[in-house]
Amino acid sequence: MRDKIVVIGSLNYDVILKIPRLPECGETLPADTATFSAGGKGANQAVQAAKLGVETYMVGCVGEDAQGDYLLESAWKYGVHTDYIRRCTEATGMGVVNAVEDGSVFACIVRGANFAVTREDVDAAEPILKEARLVILQMEIPQEINEYAIDKAKACGCQVLLNAAPAAEIPEAYLEKCDILVVNEVEAAFYLKEKIDTREQAEKGARLLAEKYGADIIITLGSLGSVVCERGAVTFLPSKKVEAIETTGAGDSFIGGVGSALIRGENLTDACEFATRCSAVTVCRLGAQASMPTLDEVG
C-alpha cells in the first residue's frame, strides 16, 4: 500500500521577531520578543503531515553547523524521517520573520544549504519514492532540481503537489506534469498575469489555471479562505474565524494537512476543508512547526 509522503525542499533556521509595527526607513525599532524555531516551507510541510500521523520523509540539505543540528533534531522529534537530509559545507538556510501584532508576517530567507540540493540527493531517495503516494515540492531549492524531482516522482508512480512559492518562472511543461498546484493570491497573479484581489477573481483564476495546466488547483486567500478547482468543479472554502497570534507556517500547515487527508483517501476538496482546520489551529500559536496540530487537536 502506497501511504507515504515525500517532501523535497527547504529547511530553514527561523528567527521570529514579534514587533508592534514595521519600522520606518532608518528607524531602529525594539522587538517585543525574539523566538528561534525550525522552519523552511519543505520542513514545515513535512512536519505537519507527520504530526497528522502520515509516514513522511524529507529530502533536502542542511549545513554542518549548529543550526543544521537543530533542524534535524526538530524534524525527527515531530516524526519526520530524516534519512535523506544531507549535511553539506554551505551554511544552513535561514529565515528572518517579522511578526506584527495584527497577525501579518513579513519575511526574508537566506538560501544557504537549500541551494546545495542535487539530482543525486533526489536519486538517493528513489527507494522511498517507489513506496510513496504523494511528493510535495516548493520553490525554495534550485528550479532545475524541482524539475528533475517532478520527473523522478512521476517515473516512480507518485502524485505531485507543487506549492509554487515563492512564485518563479517554471516551464509550462513541468506545471502540466503536476497533479495539484497550490498558490496564494500573489503567486496566482504571477502565473495568470492578472490581479487576484477577490474571491470571484480567485474562482475564475483557479478555473483558468486548471484549464491551462490540466491540474487540480488550490488558491489560498489568507484570512478569507481558499478556492479549490477539483476536476473542473470550483469550491470556495471560508477560513475558520479565530484570534490569530501570527500566521507563520499557516500555509505550510494547510499543505501538510491536504497531503495527510489525501493519504487517508479524502478527495481534494474535503482535504482542503480539513487543512483549513489545521491552519486555524496553527495561527493561534507562536512559531511554525511547534504550532502545528496533531490529528487529535484538529477535531
Catalytic positions, please?
252
d(CA 274, CA 263): 13
Minimal CA–CA distance to 87: which of 58, 113, 57, 120?
A: 113
Q: Which helix (H) or strand (E) covers residue 91, if one does?
A: none
User: With left for phi above 0 and alpha for psi between -120 and 50, is residue 103 left, alpha or beta?
Assistant: left
Strand ranges inside the chain, DSSP E: 4-8, 12-19, 33-39, 55-63, 81-88, 93-100, 105-110, 132-137, 159-163, 180-184, 216-220, 225-230, 233-238
For the chain, state the CA radius of gyration.
18
CA 28 to chain centre: 32
In a 10 Å sphere around its CB, with 0-12 CB exposed, 13-18 middle and 19+ buried, how is residue 13 labelled? buried
DSSP state letter for 224: G
AA identity, residue 266: E
| CA distance readout (Å), 152 to 92, 132, 294 | 25, 12, 30
d(CA 215, CA 17): 37
The dihedral sign for the CA sequence 285, 180, 148, 131: positive
The dihedral sign for the CA sequence 199, 201, 207, 212: negative
d(CA 71, CA 280): 24
